[in-house]
Amino acid sequence: MEQQKIIDDEGHFHAEDEVVDLSDTIAEGWIALAIFWLLGLTVFYQFVTRYVMNDSAAWTEEVARYMLIGVVFVGAAIGVAKNSQIQVDFFYRHMPAAMGRWLSRAVDVLRTAFFAAAVVMTVQMMLKIGNQTRMTIVDLPMNIVYGLCLFGFAAMAWRSVQVARLHWRRGYSVLERPESTLADR
């Protein structure tokens, strides 16, 4: 089979886009995208008021900062769902397979426990500060921001459980077989 040239003999450019399939995008991805677009609109509004109208809207910087926090915490669930955290698989290549399997299971359990502990501590902090602590410029409770963090941690914990279940069901993880992906079900 002959491979199609990008630039043909006459110098014309030929390229075809791949089909975009968003069907496997998780809910947290769409939520993070929505927050990101709101962040973009807020920063654009800030730009217009500062440089076009010469009267900067003071609230935009604070709200943009909190939206960025939301994008990070909610968006982090995407990385957990794809199991794309930083990992060192060098040692797994040189240890016995059974030891690597148990160590991989320990990583799954510890990752899930970390996110679950973060959920508990975030709830405790939110209960401790209540609605008395307010944002600096916008008169809203800081628990709105911490609620985004809580949602992100809860989503990461849930996705971590799903990844661990998949690893247990198929009998190996990406740590043990770096060439595999979560799509290898």
- Find the helix packing angle between 59-81 and 27-47, rounded to 10°: 160
C-beta separation of 175 from 100 below 8 A: yes
**C-alpha closest to that of 57 among 41, 33, 34, 71:** 41
**C-alpha closest to that of 65 among 153, 135, 128, 150:** 135
Surface-to-core class of residue 80, CB atoms within 10 Å of its CB (0-12 exposed, 13-18 middle, 19+ buried): buried
Mean pLDDT (whole number) for 85-89? 77
User: Average pLDDT of the chain?
Assistant: 90
**59 or 1, higher pLDDT:** 59
**C-alpha closest to that of 174 among 61, 86, 110:** 86
Q: How confident is the model at residue 174 (pLDDT cuts 50, 70, 90)?
A: confident
**What integer pLDDT is reported at residue 131 of this predicted model?**
85
Residues 23-59: pLDDT tens digits?
889 999 999 999 999 999 999 999 999 999 999 898 9
**C-alpha closest to that of 147 among 128, 166, 119:** 119
Name residue 7's beta-bridge partners.
13
What CA–CA distances, in Å, run from 39 to 29, 59, 61, 88, 173? 15, 13, 10, 34, 36
Residues 150-169: pLDDT tens digits?
999 999 999 999 999 999 99
